[in-house]
Amino acid sequence: MELEELAQRIYQVAHLTGEFVLRSGITTHEYFDKYRFEADPVLLDEIARAMVPLVPSGTEVLAGLEMGGIPVVTALGRHTGLPCAFVRKEAKAYGTARLAEGAEIAGRRVLVVEDVVTSGGQIILSTKELRSLGATITHALCVIDREQTGAGSLAAHDITLLSLLTATNLRPRPSD
């Protein structure tokens, strides 16, 4: 599937209009319901396939952020063969009591994977925690960059944002 066709498919499945408050606190009238494309196994597989070339060389672990990054990282792991870590917003107080479950991250080059980025706030928080656990993180990869403040905020924390699509890519094209 070509990238433009993939963008149209995501737009058809996940684009909503109304009034929505984002995690960043920003109110928007346009929203991409990530769970709609993540819940479609065929579409999610196409998204993951298209993301493979964006994975930086030398990446050793893919780290998906709770909750939306988890299905994306799992699908991406199937296409790259890289092990996955599943990153909680905070370590649970029982069981393994770990922040990152799955693949070991200490001493490894880790790519943070997220579904949609607006301000980059959760990536910044999670990266700080993962780095404190010994992960080397220089990049984050998302399905959709809303083209708000995310890339700049991440850059200020030495994280380069890579995105499959941007809000601009997802805007409907005028009919020819």
Tell whether the model's pLDDT for residue 65 goes beyond 60.
yes
CA-CA-CA-CA dihedral for 142, 143, 146, 152, to nearest 10: 20
Does the annotation list 21 as a binding residue? no
Does the annotation list 115 as a binding residue? yes
On average, the pLDDT of the chain sits at 93
Instruction: Read off the pLDDT of each residue in 68-72 and give the average, rounded to a whole number.
Output: 95
Closest listed residue to residue 61, CA positions, set 89, 87, 85: 85
Per-residue model confidence (pLDDT) at position 176: 45
User: Domains along the chain?
Assistant: 3-170 (3.40.50.2020)
Does the annotation list 89 as a binding residue? yes
Per-residue model confidence (pLDDT) at position 28: 86
Does the annotation list 146 as a binding residue? yes
pLDDT digits (tens, 9 = 90+) for 20-62: 997 778 898 888 899 999 999 999 999 999 999 999 999 999 9
Backbone angles phi, psi at 35, to 5 degrees: -65, -20
Per-residue model confidence (pLDDT) at position 41: 96
Enumerate residues 6+ apart whose C-beta is below 8 A from 53. none
Instruction: Read off the pLDDT of each residue in 133-152 and give the average, rounded to a whole number.
Output: 96
Does the annotation list 114 as a binding residue? yes
Does the annotation list 119 as a binding residue? yes
Does the annotation list 149 as a binding residue? no
Per-residue model confidence (pLDDT) at position 92: 76
The span from the CA of 6 to the CA of 132, in Å, is 36
Entry pTM: 0.92
